[in-house]
Chains A and B, each alone.
Chain A
Amino acid sequence: MHMHKYEKIWLTFGIACLFVFLTVIGVSAFAEGKQPPSCLTTIDPEKVDQTPPFNKPGLVKTGDNEYQLNIVVSAFAFTPNQIEIPKGAKVTINVTSKDVIHGFEVAGTNINMMVEPGYINTITKTFNQTGEYTILCNEYCGAGHHMMTGRIKVVE
């Protein structure tokens, strides 16, 4: 199959870019640990309220300025939905759903994950700036989907 010289140059350049992109993603993910939320832990979606840590949802101190934030997601609420976090805290957020699929997004941050019945999902974030962040559901879950909201306040 004949290929024009310019096309060879163009494709070589394009494919080289491709591998640079993939290397950047791969190194960032596997060497620096910036993986997407991919928790493999399962849970009975109908027994969320009886299963730790979701039987007592909320913020739990686990170490020196380290916290666990456990949130139960259901149609159409986050429990709890008003959270205060000290500035500089490293917070591991665990979420699960009691009913359908939801999304857990903290607007203006990289906190963004799918919440699916039967699974726990998790992400860790250090809150270095004070301020107020909006929690919202970004996966359609029914008539009240756009009413699901909450606040994270990062305080001194």
Chain B
Amino acid sequence: MMNETVKVDRRDAKLALAHIYVAFIALALGGLAGLLQTLVRSGKFQLPAGISYYTILTTHGVLLGLVLTTFFIIGFQFAAVSRTSGTFSNRVRFWGWVGFWTMTIGTATTAFFILTGQASVLYTFYAPLQAHAGFYLGLTLVVVGSWISGFATFVHYARWKKEHPGKASPLLTFMAVTNMVLWLVCTLGVAATVLIQLLPWSLGIVDRVNVLVSRTLFWYFGHPLVYFWLLPAYMVWYAVIPKVIGGKIFSDSLARLAFILFLFFSIPVGFHHQLLEPGITPFWKYVQVVLTFMVVIPSLMTAFAMFATFEAYGRSKGATGLFGWLRKLPWGDARFFAPFVGMLFFIPAGAGGIINASHQMDQVVHNTIWVTGHFHLTVATTVVLTFFGAAYWLVPHLSGRVMTKAMNRLAIIQTVVWAVGMSFMSGSMHFAGLLGAPRRSAFSTYGNSPQALEWIPYQIAQAVGGTILFIGIILVLVIITNLAFFAPKGETEFPVAEAAEPQERAALAMDNWKLWIGITIALILIAYTVPFIDMIQNAPPGSKGYKLW
């Protein structure tokens, strides 16, 4: 049984904290870049010293989309696995540090080439725009480092299973392993395009690159990437939040089933990012759209489980009426409030996702700023607010401190600031996108086009929202710095909830990785084999590299 006083071992805590520090440094720098972008797009402000909008945009995407997320997730998962499956062996911890330093060196390398203007290719680095080889090399190190950490997690999990025969793995460990399996399978795509295509091409070893194959490999990775961000937030929702509010996990085995369904249906779906591309037949696009929609099922399961947990808790405290239980929830506790606001934002975010994946509606919004508005709801609100909410107990737990009432209040304010800022920014992005305003573009009136002039008020609203969000970033950095270095010393709980009705056998049956990975690979092969062979057999002449910035 789990014991409330269980602490993450001090040495494991150091490893997890190191990841979290890098994540929040990335938030500070990437957030500043985001602020500058919204100011430029308002048309009222120009970047000083000839800095390019697209350098700033690349910085923003790489630091927040890849660095903040990956570092926070691996740090959080290390802590969660150590907390629920016991202290790491020295060997696992050593490899955890190797992973950390590999990722950190990779990040620094990539950042150097971006900031010196040698890699303004955005975080999607679509060929045939060609960055300096150091940019690709740095990204490779980030991915390889994450693989090392993934394997360290698997080794620890395997040892736990060996020491506990016939027992189901702890829920948080199971979820962390699922997420790392997802990550390993999907990063094979981006590793293939970088190592086989882009790196040799940028070094001049080969002259030409197959553009469509490279994009397809990128999006084979690019969509599961968003689930790699989302699943740790779901770990917090399923396994931590019930404990924070004083309730139980609605169903342990259904939580595991939801994670396995995410593993199945997040990878063979990359074509829904490529719906408007030449070179892929409509039939295969539709096959992947069908698979894309299947993730709705585990999402609906998650929504049900969350609100069932909340209602069951409220009723156990004597709530009556249809919605009386809402009043019993701990609204003054930032560990609950921040992730809860994140959950609410996931409702419009999920609906927007279904729109984007639908052929005919995507025709209207593809590559407009609507899409930017969409993922600022999913990753930059739902996921990020959940990560902030988790950091409010995780950082003091790891640093041996406690969150004061004042800091908790500041965290509540931070959440409200974020919700307000994002409503402005993402809301106006959605509206401007419907009118046709493109994403990933510096300020432009398109030759004083009356249509483009209509978008400017929305762009000013984005700058207002972006400014409010930047205040939110300053607030969260104040809180995290306090929790890591200045808060009073003491013991903070790492909350881990228990299931309402433990179903040991059902949970144990879920530890069947050969089957899950087999089904995952089968679905990928079904969705990708034929169109991928088509792409290679009917390939046009390859493309030389271009440096157009």
Min Cβ gap B92→A in Å is: 32
A52 contacts partner chain B, Cβ-Cβ < 8 Å: no
Complex CA distance for A30 and B284, rounded to whole angstroms:
12
Per the 8 Å Cβ criterion, residues 431-462 of B in contact with A are 435-444, 446-447, 449-452
B296 touches A110 (CB 8 A): no
List the B side residues contacting A147 at CB < 8 Å: 444
Does any Cβ of B come within 8 Å of A91's Cβ? Answer: no
Interfacial residues of chain B within 283-300, with CB under 8 A of chain A in the complex: 285-286, 289-290, 293-294, 296-297, 300
- B276 near A113 (CB under 8 angstroms)? yes
Q: B129 in the interface, Cβ–Cβ < 8 Å?
A: yes
- Asked if A93 is at the interface of the complex by the 8 Å CB criterion, the answer is no
The answer to whether B442 and A25 have CB atoms under 8 Å apart is no
Interface assignment of A121: CB less than 8 Å from any CB of chain B:
yes
A18 → chain B, closest Cβ, in Å? 5
* Contact for B276 among A21, A37, A108, CB less than 8 A: A37
In the bound complex, residues from chain A placing their C-beta under 8 Å from that of B542 are: 118
Q: How far is the CA of A49 from the CA of B503 in the complex (A)?
A: 68
User: Could you give, for residues 496-513 of chain B, a 1 whenever the CB lies within 8 Å of some chain A CB and a 0 otherwise?
Assistant: 000001010010000000
B52 adjacent to chain A (CB < 8 Å): yes
A29 touches B359 (CB 8 A): yes
A30 CA / B120 CA spacing, docked (Å): 40
Q: Report the count of interface residues on A (CB-CB < 8 A).
A: 68
Q: How far is the CA of A99 from the CA of B435 in the complex (A)?
A: 28
Question: How distant is the Cα of A147 from the Cα of B445 in the complex, in angstroms?
Answer: 9
Instruction: Decide if B364 touches A15 in the complex (CB within 8 Å).
Output: no
Q: Is the CB of B438 within 8 A of A105?
A: yes
Contact of A1 among B254, B354, B437 (CB under 8 A): B254
Chain A CB within 8 A of B12 CB: no
Check: B368 CB closer than 8 A to any chain A CB: yes
Inter-chain contact A112/B367, CB cutoff 8 Å = yes
CB distance from B102 to the nearest CB of A (A): 29
Residue A73 interfacial (CB < 8 Å): no
A99 close to B447 (CB less than 8 A)? no
Docked-complex contact B277 and A146, CB < 8 angstroms:
no
A152 CB to nearest B CB, Å? 11
Question: Which residue of B has the minimal Cβ distance to A17?
Answer: B296
Chain A residues whose CB sits within 8 angstroms of the CB of B281 once the complex forms: 38, 40
Q: Given that A22-B290, A36-B359, A75-B548 are contacting pairs, would A42 and B296 also be in contact in the complex, using a CB cutoff of 8 Å?
A: no
How many B residues face the partner with a CB closer than 8 A? Answer: 74
Q: Is A44 an interface residue (CB 8 A)?
A: yes
Complex interface: chain A residues within 8 A of B290 (CB): 22
Question: What are the interface flags for A77-88 relative to B under an 8 Å C-beta threshold, 1 for contact and 0 otherwise?
Answer: 000000000000
CB distance from A34 to the nearest CB of B (A): 5
Contact present for A99 and B128 (CB under 8 Å): yes
B275 and chain A: residue at smallest CB distance: A36
Q: Which of B93-101, B190-198, B533-541 contacts A (4 or more CB under 8 A)?
A: B533-541
A118 engages B546 (CB within 8 Å): no
A14 to chain B, nearest CB (A): 4
Which listed residue, B126, B308, B449, B506, touches A101 by the CB 8 Å rule? B126
- In the bound assembly, the distance between CA atoms of A81 and B320 in angstroms comes to 66
Q: Does B54 contact A (CB under 8 A)?
A: yes
Contacts of A46 in B (CB 8 A): 541
Which B406-426 residues have a C-beta within 8 angstroms of A?
none
Within 8 Å of chain A (Cβ to Cβ): is B529? no
Verify B308–A99 contact, CB threshold 8 A: no
Q: Are B278 and A142 in contact (CB under 8 A)?
A: no
4 nearest interchain CB pairs?
A: A142-B548, A118-B540, A107-B436, A119-B278
Q: What are 29 A-to-B residue pairs whose CB atoms are below 8 Å?
A: A1-B253, A7-B254, A11-B297, A14-B300, A22-B293, A35-B282, A36-B359, A37-B276, A38-B280, A40-B278, A40-B538, A42-B538, A100-B129, A101-B211, A103-B367, A108-B451, A112-B366, A112-B367, A114-B276, A116-B212, A117-B540, A118-B279, A121-B277, A122-B278, A140-B57, A140-B122, A142-B54, A146-B438, A146-B442
